[in-house]
Every structure is written in C-alpha cells, then in structure tokens.
C-alpha cells in the first residue's frame, strides 16, 4: 500500500475513522516514474494535514514535506518531487491500519490492505 492510497482510506462505517494509523511491519522504497502533472492534480485531492501526520509517524520519510503546501505548488518541482516520493515510492508491504475511532485493525498483506 502506497501513502497515496492511505490518504484516501477511512474506516468503513465510521464518521471520524480518518486518518488510519499505520503499524508497519515491513516497508519498501520503490521507484516510480515522476509525473509532475499527476502529482500537481493530486495536491488538490489530498488531505494534506492527514498526510503530514502520517509522514511524521514513518521514520523513512519523516520531515521531507513542508508544513504547508507552497502557494505555487504546480511550478515548485522540489516540492512535487518530495511529494511524489512520499505518495508513490513508499510501499507498506506488511503491517496493519488502525481505526482512530474504534481501534479496529485492518491487516495489510503483500501490499494490499483488507478494509473489511
């Protein structure tokens, strides 16, 4: 599971089940093609504070993102590259997601979270 997916997930059947806490068992850093257009589009769709919260909990990417989205983010290649790395190049292979409301656990196996 990549962090881009994590930023969209919430605990099913809850009101405040977002963002889910991540318990990492194994994590991989993969390489992905950088597509600035796509990342810039994603900025509008992301819940940035939730992403910062998640990033702070993962040691590999901690502190790589600025606390605020820059004004002209579409031209800010450095920011887009950092965001690209966080969103698409960090893969949580094994672990679990924990609902902040009910403390329910959703396992992640082979990179696929089970949201049931």
Residue 12-51 contact track with another protein, rule CB under 8 A, x = bound: xx----x-------------xx-x-xx-xxx--x-x----
Task: Find the binder of another protein among 67, 72, 78, 116 (CB under 8 A).
Answer: 116
Question: In this structure, are residues 84 and 34 in contact, taking their beta carbons and an 8 Å threshold?
Answer: yes
Question: What is the total count of residues that contact another protein (CB under 8 A)?
Answer: 33
Sheet strand arrangement including 90-98: 21-29, 90-98, 105-109
Closest by CA position to 68, among listed 43, 96, 41? 43
In the complex, the residues that contact another protein under the rule CB under 8 A are: 1-2, 4-5, 8-13, 18, 32-33, 35, 37-38, 40-42, 45, 47, 88, 102, 104-105, 107, 110-116
């Amino acid at each position: 599971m990549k962090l881009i997916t994590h930023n969209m997930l919430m605990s099913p059947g809850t009101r405040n089940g977002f963002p889910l806490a991540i318990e990492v068992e194994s994590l991989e850093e993969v390489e992905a093609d950088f597509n600035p257009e796509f990342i810039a589009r994603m900025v509008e769709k992301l819940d940035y504070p939730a992403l910062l919260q998640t990033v702070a909990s993962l040691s590999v990417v901690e502190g790589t993102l600025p606390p605020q989205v820059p004004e002209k983010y579409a031209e800010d290649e450095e920011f887009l590259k950092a965001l690209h790395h966080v969103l698409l190049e960090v893969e949580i292979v094994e672990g679990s997601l924990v609902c902040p409301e009910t403390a329910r656990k959703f396992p992640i196996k082979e990179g696929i979270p089970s949201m049931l």
